[in-house]
Structure 1
């Protein structure tokens, strides 16, 4: 009986945490992590300050949990969906398309979660910046791995420098499109970024027929 009660409390606590973090990730995508405090989140979510403090202890704990939650959403919406495709060029094609759609459809109100929070913490050392940097480093590494797989499979013709350049350029096109779309209120930057990604991959030797998801 005691275990059942404890399990019920834990389940309710987990549900409250998920609900609060949904508001937190959305808020951080618009106002950045610096603007994310227990008080501000209570105001936005309708939860009490005491309940939020009980879940996250302090502002840093809230920020770290928000980064982890944003990472989980990004992984589910972009990375996991692309894993349905063969690794290499097919998966790279899918990754870039899902990445564009993740921002374009405003999964988070402020567009790309990590674009927003990276700009907020990039010059502020500490555990929160470390968490953001680790998430971004793993994402960039994953893109580079898919480029290397494509080279190994003969789908792209690149040397080591070319692999690094393509792995840098693809997310750079996306990040600029995200920023320009938010500023201009237009989908046109995504169209241009998609075309740019396709051009980069074709210049690297990709067969146009293998880039079905990056058609404009």
Structure 2
């Protein structure tokens, strides 16, 4: 028990446990998480985990929050440092592909698989995932709208439709990567969006050339 407390003491160690749990969820699914399973893979007693999480649902919600913070750090925040307009939308997509290619998650990519896993379930976990998806789509739609308003995309471009296309390419890359490899599927998702954005751009030269 003393060793368990030492392992779980402090926010740094809590974050390390959540890192491990996120990787585990990418392989076994969010529904497969439990305090017992987590304790087994960490090599500690289940009682040691109760200092932080009292139920399966609590650990699942904590993992979603942890995944969101990692997504912000690896995808959203770096992408949003690009110049406002179409380059910012492209940069967010590019950062997403780079994140998938990084190998940070050994199985299917967390949010992409979790949305499918909880798509038809009414639960606190399902509602949280819907909220995360709504926030992500709102961000993509805002970036597309800003690009139209800046005159960098042709008038009449539908921001919501462009956001849907951008996310669809990302989801396809995420779900296909474990099967055909991240390099191939992320490369295809990059080229597909880049070709589409350059066709819509009023000045395609501000975007990279397709390879």
Cα displacement string for residues 130-186 of structure 1 (whole angstroms, at most 9, x for unaligned residues): 1111111111110110000000000001436x2221110011011111211211235
Partner of 2:205: 209
Find out whether 1:60 has 2:21 as its counterpart: no
Distance 1:41 1:204, change over 3 A: same
Query: Are 2:25 and 1:23 equivalent residues in the alignment?
Result: no
The answer (yes or no) to whether the contact 1:90–1:211 under 8 Å persists in 2 is yes
1:1-216 to structure 2, matched below 5 A, reads: 12-159=9-156, 162-185=158-181, 187-212=183-208, 215-216=210-211
- Partner SS state of residue 61, structure 1: helix
Check the 8 A contact 1:83/1:91 in 2, yes or no.
Answer: yes
| CA distance in structure 2 between the partners assigned to 1:158 and 1:168 by the alignment | 18
Range that drifts further, 17-26 or 60-69: 17-26
Change (3 A) 1:153 1:147: same
CA RMSD of aligned residues (A): 1.9
Conserved in 2, the CA contact under 8 Å of 1:89 and 1:150?
yes
Aligned to 1:3: none
Is the Cα contact below 8 Å between 1:166 and 1:200 reproduced in 2? no
Give 1:20 deviation, angstroms: 1.1
Asked if structure 2 preserves the Cα contact closer than 8 Å seen for 1:29 and 1:108, the reply is yes
Kept in 2, the 8 Å contact 1:82–1:98? The answer is yes
Shift of 1:47: 3.2
CA distance in structure 1 between the aligned counterparts of 2:138 and 2:110, rounded to whole angstroms: 18
Q: Which runs of 4+ in 1 moved over 3 A?
A: none
Gaps of at least 5 residues in structure 1 are 1-8
Q: Would the aligned equivalents of 1:103 and 1:111 in 2 still touch at CA under 8 Å?
A: no
Q: Which has the higher helix share?
A: 1
Partner of 1:4: none
Return the offset for 1:46: 2.4
User: 1:52, 1:198 → 2: CA distance?
Assistant: 45
For residues 170 and 195 of structure 1, what CA distance do their matches in structure 2 show?
Answer: 12
Report Cα offsets for 1:72-99 as digits up to 9, x if no partner: 0001000111122122212111101100
TM-score when normalising by structure 2? 0.90
